[in-house]
Homo-oligomer: A and B are copies of this chain.
Amino acid sequence: MKNQVKYLTDVLEAKGYRLTIARQVIAETLVDSGSHCSADELVDLVHKSAPGIGRMTVYRTLELFCHLGLARPIYQGTGAAHYVLMERGHHHHLVCSACGRFIEFDDCVLEKITEELISERFNFAVEGHLLELFGRCQQCQEQYNSSERL
């Protein structure tokens, strides 16, 4: 987890971006949050350890992370976008279509093969991927039928 933060800051420096207090705090907070939260939640969390850091800085840092392939915005259809960290370029999670719960997992063997195939077929230099699986989590399979209306 500490390593994860170091990786983020190392990439920043390697690309010639300045390693500021704000960016460090934001990186730490994002990792601590479980690598998954909205910009707004992140602003609140950051304020707990460093009240001086502005909302804008959080937005801009997230944008920077995305630009560098370190994070990715995902949109849940309502409200604000969420940001997920892409550890070593990868992120996987399950999204429950009933309760919206996220279940993070880290299993990359099959996707590796996919990447190689794609890389060849489309002449596309794959740098990472996001795999989202949609369905019903255990609780929601028990609680609901599949027919609740919008």
Interface residues of A (CB under 8 A from B): 15-16, 63-64, 66-67, 69, 72-77, 81, 89, 94, 96-97, 103, 105, 107, 110-111, 113-115, 117-118, 121-138, 141, 147, 149-150
Which of B16, B63, B127, B150 meets A67, CB within 8 Å? B150
Question: Which residue of the partner chain B has the closest CB to A136?
Answer: B125
Contact B131 A135 (CB under 8 A): no
List 10 additional A-B contacts (Cβ < 8 Å) besides A75-B75, A125-B135, A128-B135.
A15-B147, A67-B150, A69-B134, A73-B77, A75-B81, A94-B118, A103-B124, A123-B141, A124-B138, A131-B131
Complex Cα gap A134–B88 (Å): 12
- A76: chain B residues at CB < 8 Å are 73
Given contacts A94-B118, A97-B69, A107-B117, contact A135 B130 (CB under 8 A): no
Given contacts A75-B74, A113-B110, A150-B63, contact A127 B136 (CB under 8 A): yes
Contact B64 A150 (CB under 8 A): yes
Contact A126 B115 (CB under 8 A): no
Complex Cα gap A105–B120 (Å): 13
Distance in angstroms from A79 CB to nearest chain B CB is 11
